[in-house]
């Protein structure tokens, strides 16, 4: 069965779901469902895409809260393996709204079975780094590649890269097996100190993806394809915090590619030949999705109606 393009189809996200413990500037704490892949799944669900999250959760209150949260966006949760407890990330919010993370995480993902050949499979972050689950994720990427667009966000967490082998080699192997790669300039700076983000993106494109996008914080985002390079400025916004901003960008990016009928194995030639004006339109929509998210507290991405309204107002 070959996945097709258009409005239908399924997005499968594979990766960690955890509890974000947000410590505000005044020391107040709040608990929210989080985890980069879970945030991407939630963002896609909010944008009206049929989405399944393959993850690992404990049979505890935090796990129940994550399941209920994802259900609100229509995301189907498929747990592979039983965690002793639901993992957590403690995020301390700085004076500029940025978040500094500390993780209490296990990732022992069992054999992965996706519901059907997906239009797009997205993964990344801790799920592709933390053993033993990382190996299962990498195998799955290879298994679905023929029929599905593979999307990857390294979302580097340096504290958890210790003992994970050569992180650059692992990232480049996953980049080479992907069609769409999204990273931040913080990711590229950690992986290639002293090199410009655009140069890292160019190197990655030569490994095989059709599209590499690097977010640049307040400077927007740059996209690299075989047809050229596009820089999209950030949308002006008052920042509440940056929790989930990159994940909202990823959801917006995949949603935009979906709208352009550029997802699925059959669409791979079109994705590799994508015009720069289409890339600019897609990336601009992704920056607006991120802007909505940073304008309010926590990983709270826009609905399709909200994103369409913002897009119209900025046109």
79 or 197, which is more confident: 197
> How sure is the predictor about 232, in pLDDT bands with cuts at 50, 70 and 90?
very high
Q: What is the model's pLDDT at position 288? A: 95
What value does the mean pLDDT take over residues 167-184?
95
Q: What is the pTM of this model?
A: 0.92
**Distance of alpha carbon 15 from alpha carbon 3, whole angstroms:** 21
pLDDT of residue 213 exceeding 50, the answer is yes
Reported as a pLDDT band with limits 50, 70 and 90, residue 82 is low
Polymer length of the chain:
315
Q: Where are the alpha helices (DSSP H) in 120-184?
A: 133-144, 167-176
Give whole-number Cα distances, 245 to 4, 98, 157, 225, 291, in Å: 29, 10, 15, 23, 7
* pLDDT mean over 15-19: 93
Across residues 123-145, what is the average pLDDT?
92
Compute the distance between CA of residue 217 and CA of residue 167 in angstroms, rounded to an integer.
Answer: 23
Lowest mean pLDDT, pick from 103-112, 138-147, 152-161, 162-171? 162-171
**Residue 2: pLDDT above 70?**
no
User: What integer is the mean pLDDT of 194-198?
Assistant: 97
Total Cβ atoms within 10 A of residue 218:
9
List, in order, residues 6 or more apart from 169 with CB less than 8 Å away: none
Tokens of 129: 């780094």
Superfamily of domain 11-314: Ribokinase (3.40.1190.20)
């Amino acid at each position: 069965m070959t996945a097709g393009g258009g409005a239908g189809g399924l997005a499968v996200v594979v990766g960690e779901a955890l509890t974000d413990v947000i410590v505000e500037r005044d020391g107040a704490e709040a608990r929210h469902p989080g985890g980069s892949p879970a945030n991407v799944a939630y963002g896609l669900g909010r944008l009206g895409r049929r989405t399944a999250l393959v993850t690992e959760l404990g049979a505890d209150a935090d796990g129940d809260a994550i399941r209920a949260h994802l259900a609100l966006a229509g995301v189907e949760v498929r747990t592979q393996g039983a965690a002793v407890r639901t993992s957590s990330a403690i995020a301390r919010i700085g004076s500029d709204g940025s978040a500094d993370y500390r993780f209490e995480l296990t990732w022992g993902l069992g054999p992965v079975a996706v519901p059907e050949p997906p239009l797009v499979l997205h993964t990344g972050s801790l799920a592709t780094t933390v053993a033993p689950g990382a190996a299962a994720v990498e195998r799955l990427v290879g298994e679905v590649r023929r029929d599905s667009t593979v999307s990857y966000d390294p979302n580097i967490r340096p504290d958890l890269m210790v003992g994970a082998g050569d992180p650059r080699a692992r990232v480049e192997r996953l980049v080479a097996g992907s069609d769409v790669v999204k990273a931040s300039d913080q990711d590229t700076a950690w992986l290639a100190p002293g090199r410009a983000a655009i140069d890292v993106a160019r190197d990655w494109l030569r490994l095989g993806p059709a599209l590499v996008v690097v977010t640049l914080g307040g400077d927007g985002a740059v996209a690299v394809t075989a047809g050229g390079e596009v820089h999209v400025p950030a949308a002006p916004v008052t920042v509440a915090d940056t929790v989930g901003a990159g994940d909202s960008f990823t959801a917006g990016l995949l949603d935009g590619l979906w709208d352009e009928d550029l997802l699925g194995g059959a669409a791979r030639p079109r994705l590799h030949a994508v015009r720069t004006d289409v890339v600019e339109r897609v990336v601009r929509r992704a920056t607006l999705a991120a802007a909505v998210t940073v304008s309010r507290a926590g990983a709270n991405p826009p609905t399709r109606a909200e994103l369409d309204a913002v897009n119209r107002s900025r046109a």
